[in-house]
Structure 1
């Protein structure tokens, strides 16, 4: 009896000890011990070549001395072990690292199936590419609601792509290429996805509209896929498989024709020759009628009248030097400028560059081969007569700076108002950042983005300080109005036009300052509003997101930072740049300061210039923000590419 009592007491002590150990491992410093135990189990299973010799249980500071391991607040948060010849089915022990945010095991020899990783609820970046993992993609991955980047490419995975990926609201990267995946992708809908590659699998069916904006290379190597952006059309529902031959063709083939059906079949349809003859006749009649009408109306129109010019081909439509219209004249601001008249613009070859809130921009090639940019203004406010218009334009023409697009000339008439600028052949910063965001795109490096920001800030600062009375504002700062000249130098365009149109022109696409008046019909611009819009441009440079993609880009960035995910706001293309974390955070803090809700809390643009100059020189400015107690998750998930070829910015 005494022996049983002693055993019972011993059992109670063991249970108590188990509970105490469990509590200890779930809090405080013992949590790190639990993480390290999982790492040691992983090492024992996969490190046959001795690459992880630094993983020693007696190491005094494993978070700083263990290869590839990073910690935060007493837990392992980052594990990066790439190209170390790790092998075996060894991933399962890592599921104990419940605070892990970055896991990269790419370019090893790991095998077996992907285990249940649903316990890694904090995981944001998961890279398992270039291994020998097999089996289906586990649905447990789709429970990782914080996941931003997922790369399982170049493995031996098979089966369908789980449609539960649609439940991942933050997913920006999905790379599943070079596997053995099958099934349809028509149900995939990932609206926030920026980087997709499903190539070299055995997928079938139609590419869904939600993924059709990605380039064909993202779907190449799947013979069963069809629809945009692929060249193969979907001939049958949900599949690009071969359509069965037409039954009429089969039944009319020799040896398969039923007896007694010759005559009825001939009478039941029109022969191919008859169809061709009818179509040819209709086309010939259409050409003849069109030619007669063209010749008839051409004779009734004066040869130099612009009214015969087709929309989209020429610049000027309403004005004419003939009839009852007021005749204007071209006014040039530089003695060395090549002189031309309105008639030269009428004869020029013009290409529409885009429509904005203040008018339509054209590229005009004159008879002598010179190229200019012409902005045809919309209707100006009634308060702006000819005298006011000319005084304002002349004031704008006096503003000259290497980072501003110079105004060369203007044309004023009652029915036509044109501004002639230098032509910028390098396109806009908007196209540089957001054009072709898919496979095959040349990444825009950090140095290029900083130089764009600095050039735009210097140009804006010159506008703000060039005129004391009245104080001038740009009024329409946005990525499409930062252009690149033939040398690749960024230059601000469209400055000072805010007074010539409604404030709604500068209030679209996410650049509108909160204090802008609710009455969009009257002109409005302010220097504080310019700083806000410039801050949005900085956020575009940092995040890679267009301001129009998010309803309020500054507030979205703030929400991510508040969730302690500061590193996750940055563009995927910047993750491959090393040693710039401090500069990126400093620029982010500056951008958030520029987009403060209260105008009084925003810095002056001259201060912004000094900050960016400091960042560009390798510093971090005179203000910084902590990355929310989290080291940067700067794992490169980009494929190997050549060195950046910046567009000369």
Structure 2
């Protein structure tokens, strides 16, 4: 028995020593592979810092990054590296997560990289690589950026690429690829470029949503967004060159041309001059008759509508002195008939803004103003109104809101009017009539956070950078905290409708919360349907007809706003599940950079701030309300994140070329319950 224990102990010790030796030797094997790559590609000495005797190669070797005792990133761009077959040495670096060798002179065929099972980013554009795309590339299941553009690759686009289910970017443009792509299906793809090749056949419907530039300069490629396939026919005398046919521009058949020519040569086919003069006279008579009928009908209509107009004008004189809004105004009818006859006189009430020089105006001034609809929200329609003196205000016409009475409405508006903060849109005036309620706010000229995050996501868009996003988040948090703590008495005041469309930017691009406090006026089904992605789990059903707004609910909604800022996804973009549940499902599975907005990936050194804000957003969207922080705590944590960033983050010159080309990868330690930075 003792001998058996000794043997077991010996075997265990041997196994541990072998494991430790292999682990300690893994970095050595990586360095050996890198030196082999240098010997095959670096003829000009660009990699002179790669010295085997260096005690800390992970920090001094150009373009090399290590993690966990392995080489995980290799970024060597625009270094004139050349050589045939140099890439094969990299297939031994099985710990690599990122490879970027853009803008070099590497040649030869693509090697088998299936051993790099953890590879996530592969950028080999602007080289001289040739040969086919190896089908083994489909074994890189964690790959989500693939850029092989501007090479001399030939052959077909392998259908095995469909196995790359995480792929977000596929760039194969400016090569010599041939064949069909009809079987290509990558549902998560966000960035595609197959232009300047020799691809043929139809574009699959799954790729039809991409722009024309993604498929241009492929002569015989057809289907949306290019020409329909029936209009593209290859010319057998000129391979690769299409013939474009169109029914509208079809040439006249030769037979028809002969008939026309024959007919024109017979003099008896021409009509006599007398008949021609008769035809002209008939046409003139018909035109004159039609004109007379038109004048007669116009006179009848004019008389009819003039009588109605004169009647309305005489009726309006009876109502002179009453403030009546005619239906031509976008704000509806403010003077309404009440039961038993007569009219209820509305009143424009200005609130004390605490500022000097506030311009006051009458309701008639507002009704004469030129109005432009800004959008429809849960509680009504908002308009931009330009008054006669040139001043601009925003007017919200409340709809589908049931208020108990006039006194309650006026009391609530006065309470909202006293909420003054640099991050709140000030309520300056209101109008109340029985069936018409108008709210007047300062106009915010720079749109909403929603439009900045989600508007025009395509060519020519100016991305919203990280410093601006965290600044907006901080400002909105301060404004919401002020609402929560402005009224110390019970019940505590809540916003009730926090979302990105209600975070507006003033003329100085400072964020301001809008529509605060309206949820307490009464139920509105429109709010429930339009704000479904922001509603906390404890909120009543959408068809509930009772007012509902709580501070804990505001915290949940604000957490969804933070997730929108971080992910670039709208609250309703995640299909059957809401945005918080989607983020948590990705966190539980495996944390990757694809959770964050691609437009943030070109900024370097902000990973810790993004992760910290993500932790805060997840805590704000906790299902149990008592597990959510207070807004005062949220403000403190966001301010700490801003201070830790040391100022505005700027785009890194080492970034991967575009918004979708960042080597930054994040991971989460779900067992510890905290998000951390990792190369995994």
The TM-score with structure 2 as length reference comes to: 0.75
1:576 paired to 2:614: no
Alignment of 1:478-557 (within 5 A): 478-500=499-521, 501-502=523-524, 505=527, 508-518=531-541, 520-521=543-544, 522-550=546-574, 551-557=577-583
CA 162–488 in structure 1, closer or farther in 2 if over 3 Å, else same: farther
1:130 paired to 2:126: yes
CA 227–357 in structure 1, closer or farther in 2 if over 3 Å, else same: farther
1:466 paired to 2:474: no
Alignment counterpart, residue 41 of structure 2, candidates 46, 51, 62 = 46
Counterpart position of 1:195: 191
1:169 paired to 2:165: yes
Of 335-344 and 106-115, more deviation after overlay is shown by 335-344
Counterpart position of 2:425: 405
Deviations, residues 566-607 of structure 1 (Å, cap 9, x unaligned): 444222222222222222222222222222222222221112
Counterpart position of 1:75: 70
Q: CA deviation at 1:197?
A: 3.9
Whole-Å Cα distance in 2 between the matches of residues 334 and 248 of structure 1? 76
User: Does the residue aligned with 1:28 lie in a helix, a strand or coil?
Assistant: helix
User: Does the residue aligned with 1:505 lie in a helix, a strand or coil?
Assistant: helix
Whole-Å Cα distance in 1 between the matches of residues 33 and 104 of structure 2? 19
Alignment of 1:277-426 (within 5 A): 296=304, 300=308, 302=312, 309=328, 314-317=329-332, 319-320=334-335, 326-334=344-352, 336-381=357-402, 384-426=404-446
1:558 paired to 2:584: yes
Whole-Å Cα distance in 2 between the matches of residues 209 and 369 of structure 1? 51
Contact 2:220 2:232 survives alignment (8 Å): no
Of 338-347 and 451-460, more deviation after overlay is shown by 338-347
CA 244–456 in structure 1, closer or farther in 2 if over 3 Å, else same: closer
Give aligned pairs, total. Answer: 587
Whole-Å Cα distance in 1 between the matches of residues 644 and 395 of structure 2? 39
CA 120–250 in structure 1, closer or farther in 2 if over 3 Å, else same: farther
Of 486-495 and 292-301, more deviation after overlay is shown by 292-301
User: Does the residue aligned with 2:481 lie in a helix, a strand or coil?
Assistant: helix
Contact 2:327 2:333 survives alignment (8 Å): no
Whole-Å Cα distance in 2 between the matches of residues 126 and 448 of structure 1? 30
User: Does the residue aligned with 2:534 lie in a helix, a strand or coil?
Assistant: coil
Q: CA deviation at 1:484?
A: 1.0
Whole-Å Cα distance in 2 between the matches of residues 458 and 241 of structure 1? 63
Counterpart position of 1:101: 97
CA 37–223 in structure 1, closer or farther in 2 if over 3 Å, else same: same
CA 554–390 in structure 1, closer or farther in 2 if over 3 Å, else same: same
CA 85–247 in structure 1, closer or farther in 2 if over 3 Å, else same: closer
Whole-Å Cα distance in 2 between the matches of residues 68 and 635 of structure 1? 12
CA 160–253 in structure 1, closer or farther in 2 if over 3 Å, else same: farther
Q: CA deviation at 1:609?
A: 1.4
Whole-Å Cα distance in 2 between the matches of residues 139 and 286 of structure 1? 77
User: Does the residue aligned with 1:116 lie in a helix, a strand or coil?
Assistant: coil
Whole-Å Cα distance in 2 between the matches of residues 296 and 186 of structure 1? 63
Counterpart position of 2:253: 250
Contact 1:307 1:317 survives alignment (8 Å): yes
Q: CA RMSD in A?
A: 4.1
Whole-Å Cα distance in 2 between the matches of residues 474 and 139 of structure 1? 55
Contact 1:25 1:33 survives alignment (8 Å): no
Contact 2:598 2:659 survives alignment (8 Å): no
User: Does the residue aligned with 1:483 lie in a helix, a strand or coil?
Assistant: strand
The structure with the larger Rg is 2
Q: CA deviation at 1:241?
A: 5.3
Q: CA deviation at 1:452?
A: 1.0
Deviations, residues 159-211 of structure 1 (Å, cap 9, x unaligned): 55455545443333333344444566666554444434445555567766655
User: Does the residue aligned with 2:450 lie in a helix, a strand or coil?
Assistant: helix
Gaps of 5+ in 1: 1-19, 267-276, 622-631, 642-649
Counterpart position of 1:644: none
1:64 paired to 2:59: yes
Q: CA deviation at 1:617?
A: 2.1
Alignment counterpart, residue 55 of structure 1, candidates 46, 50, 59 = 50
CA 222–395 in structure 1, closer or farther in 2 if over 3 Å, else same: farther
Contact 2:423 2:513 survives alignment (8 Å): yes
Contact 1:195 1:437 survives alignment (8 Å): no
Q: CA deviation at 1:242?
A: 0.8
Counterpart position of 2:149: 153
Counterpart position of 2:642: 616
CA 242–286 in structure 1, closer or farther in 2 if over 3 Å, else same: farther
Q: CA deviation at 1:261?
A: 13
CA 235–610 in structure 1, closer or farther in 2 if over 3 Å, else same: same
Whole-Å Cα distance in 2 between the matches of residues 413 and 581 of structure 1? 53
Contact 1:217 1:439 survives alignment (8 Å): no
Contact 2:498 2:558 survives alignment (8 Å): yes
Whole-Å Cα distance in 2 between the matches of residues 287 and 534 of structure 1? 62
Contact 1:195 1:438 survives alignment (8 Å): no
Whole-Å Cα distance in 1 between the matches of residues 358 and 304 of structure 2? 41
CA 114–340 in structure 1, closer or farther in 2 if over 3 Å, else same: farther
Gaps of 5+ in 2: 1-14, 234-241, 270-282, 317-323, 662-680
User: Does the residue aligned with 2:96 lie in a helix, a strand or coil?
Assistant: coil
Whole-Å Cα distance in 2 between the matches of residues 65 and 285 of structure 1? 94
Contact 2:33 2:89 survives alignment (8 Å): yes
User: Does the residue aligned with 2:644 lie in a helix, a strand or coil?
Assistant: coil
Q: CA deviation at 1:299?
A: 5.4
1:453 paired to 2:473: yes
Counterpart position of 2:320: none
CA 83–380 in structure 1, closer or farther in 2 if over 3 Å, else same: same
Deviations, residues 234-291 of structure 1 (Å, cap 9, x unaligned): 483678951156667234664597989999xx9xxxxxxxxxx9xxx9x999999899
CA 425–65 in structure 1, closer or farther in 2 if over 3 Å, else same: same
Contact 1:154 1:179 survives alignment (8 Å): yes
Deviations, residues 441-465 of structure 1 (Å, cap 9, x unaligned): 2232221111111111111111111
Q: Which has the higher contact order (CA 8 A, sep 6+)?
A: 1
